[in-house]
Structure 1
Amino acid sequence: MNRFVGRTSRWLLAAPALLCSALALAELSATVDRREIAMGETLRLTLLGDAGEQPAEIDLTPLSRDWEILSRSSATNARYINGQNQVTRTLEMELAPLREGTLSIPPLTHGGRATTPQSIRVNPEPTVAPGDALVLFEASIDQSSVYVQAETILTVTLQQAINLDGGEISAFDVADAVVEDLERRSFQRRVGKRTWLVTELRYAIYPQKSGRLTIPAIGFTAREVQPGRSLLGARLGRRLRLASEPIELEVKPVPASFSGEVWLPARELTLTENWSIDPESLNIGDSTTRTLTLVARGLQGSQLPPLSSVQGSLNIPELRFYPDQESIDQTELSDGLQGQRIQSEALVARSGGSWQLPEIRVPWWNTETDSLQYAILPARNVSVATPAPLDAASPKQPTTELSGAPATLPVWAWILSGSGWLAALLLAGMMWMSRRDRSVAAAGDIAPHRDASSLRQALVEIRRCVEQNDPASLRRAILSWARLHHGRHFASFGDLTTASSESLAERLMMLDRCLYGGGDISTATQGLVEALREEPAPRAVTARANELTLYPT
């Protein structure tokens, strides 16, 4: 009964913190498909919410000042990632501007959170080519001159005032350039008394050679759909064949003033770092991971270079560095692509002291200001505390000489002293009983961690990683098995060896050296699954923490 009350009280105390944590993770965002439109055109606004947010319930009244909501639709997307169910909800709206100028999509609030305001440029109503043309097709680029390997956006625009069937755009090839497809855009445009459906196909082009670059003519074919229907379906009229004009682009070479080894022409570039543990508050044997993130607007992820390794630039025997698996990715923004490179490195402190990791400097060329700039991470201090000597930890107590014969205590003092000893013995007995109950409860809590089916599944995952020769996944799978087998978390193989049998510890140390040193992993993994399966229960493993170091030399 007391145990139930204790657990209930702990849950009641933790509930407000869990609620605050869930609210902090909730996000509400707003994005638009274009930053510049014209009167008569439409804009797509997307509201995205997660962690319980309901975009469909947001008050949209602030939009009515500058915008007319033509249509709206909502959707829910559920994904299961890393053992957690993630649900996101979206609300898409088609907006039409009410006036020209720079209009704002104001912050939209819900549940104490608000979206970021958006600024949209609305130009005067566009003019359509004279004549009776009902279908227009053209191609354009966002700049006539660009640096080599820099990004330029090609937009192929189809405008139709009639219904079309079977529309196709011919494939095209740009010599000496890399072409990436971007998201297609569709919106309505009203000119006079006629409504046009506008479709934009966008491409990111990265010239690989300086000089003149020619984008060839692009063709479009379709059939006109006439009013009414026939027995076979839609009534098809004349076949349309249209083509855009070729485009000439000037590609400038790398400026002579650029001093970097890797040419990085971007609109924006940032370099950030994150440490799993503060490097200035480490103890001997601690491990911390430094994660470097390089993000560039206007570049592909593959264009970003690997960052200078701390291990390669320093020779500090007291510190060990282990590179982790890096990731390269890219996402699409409203004005093009954004590349990202993430690189991690584990640092293990082997002895006490203080060192300084060097500054990281990445030169890049700002294409918007046409100037050389640097992304810089300042030098970082690493401090490892040295444990105090045992003699210093327990200083000798000063002694005081007593003179004279010992005083005779009264009877009541002896009775009071005896009562104190009796109370101390009773308190010690109660504490022993309490500790025994908690030990039994803890054993019951640990039991689920050693569920047989979970251990078998962990061994299956380890065998799969061995067969696929996947070192990074193998390391994570072995640590997951150790958590199930021992009922506690292990940060590294070195930590796991202190709780393993002697035979398994030797296998883990050999595998650790192969994973970080590039040795033959197939030899180190022979018989690994069988050794893990035969590993005795944690109670049968002798404590060997004082006999093994984290990373033996």
Structure 2
Amino acid sequence: MSEPYGIGVTKFAREDGTRRRGRRGIPLRWLVFWQVVFLTPANLVAQEPIVVRTAIQPKQEAIVGQRVLLKIDVLAKDSWANLPSLPNFEVPGAVVYAPPTQSVRLSEAIKGDSYTGQQFEWWLYPQRAGKLRIPSLKLAVELKSFGSDREPVTESKTSDAMTLDVGFAKGAEGMPGIIGTERFSIEQSWSQQETSLKVGDGISRTITRSAEGVPGLVFAPIETPKMVGVRIYPKQPEVENAFNRGSLTSKRVDRMTYVFEAEGEVLLPEIDIAWWDTSDEKLRRETLDARRLTITPADRPTTSGANGSVEPYEDSKSVSRWLILSFIVLVGLVLHWAWKPIVHRWNGWQSKRRSSERSYFRRFEVAAKSNHPRETLRALVQWWDVADRHSLAPRLDRFFLRYGDRDASAVLVKLEKAVDQDQSPWSSRDVLAQAQSARTRFLADQQSRQPVISRRLPELNP
């Protein structure tokens, strides 16, 4: 009689009662384990409903000025994933450029499931050597279900942070503003072709740079070293970007004007531009020729003499000098004759100004802001003595009672107590505010009481 032991395993009994071991098979528990691991269909494994992938190219190392591609894929299971608004971000040490057509539609099968979405692309241009650290970006992923009228659903996801090593191209160590491109061109033009100019003249230099695969923002400004006897006036650069069928071509135009202030020989320097050829992986240089000029003295004004010859215009200069000297003497005589009346009028105006109501009130404002109660009260009393010229004995309490607010009298009492008792509390801000408000009403009342002079002419006798 046989006894089951496992799949393909049986134990047999001999006639003498001893057991004979037969062919031994694989235990049942191991067969079940390997079936679960290897024979389970891929579509039974649960997948993420939204997939976000981040990649950069090149992956490990880049050259300063070389374009680095940042690609972010967003995919959704059984629906379409999209980024309606792209994140704005900065990468330290690099220029970030978002191309106009930066999205590509994706459709993939991941472990038997259908995923649809888009791929987005940014171009990064490192400007210095070291670690290029691309931050993690917050993404608002919009999901649209196929064949459904439901409104799109938005879910928040994040991309992976990336790091890339950046170094200088061989021979370009320390060169600022180097760019990496397959095609680069540079040319210059001058506003004048003469080799001899005069002091005060100017000449303009125009430099145009063009490149493929880089935005105009990456071009570094043209350095203009200082020159003795020459002033340099750079103008605002003109930058253009042309994007056509995934290809970017940029141009930058720099203009500068040299103005000559001294005579002699002048050498306008050459300009050397280095760039990295990404197709041949070589450092190339372009040089703009220098220009030598002769600067001569500026022409002096001349006039024709009686015999038709050209003579220096010295007579005109002499006449101008005599006119200026005569004018100075005339002004001196007038001032000497009118000096005493002018001084007298000035002193009278100053005295009247110092004794005016407005001047006294300004002194009170300064005293109040100093936060000294005794000086504040003294200045306030002096102002009221000048302001109220119609009373024989002007009184502050009547002034505040008539023209002040409801709390004006209480504020005045606190000020008087602070003068008598050093520790009594008072508020310089309240005193100043109440006095200013009461003064405004007082001046308005005085203005209304002034007699009105009729400007109407008397009627004519009939």
TM-score, normalization: structure 1? 0.34
The structure with the largest alpha-carbon Rg is: 2
TM-score, normalization: structure 2? 0.40
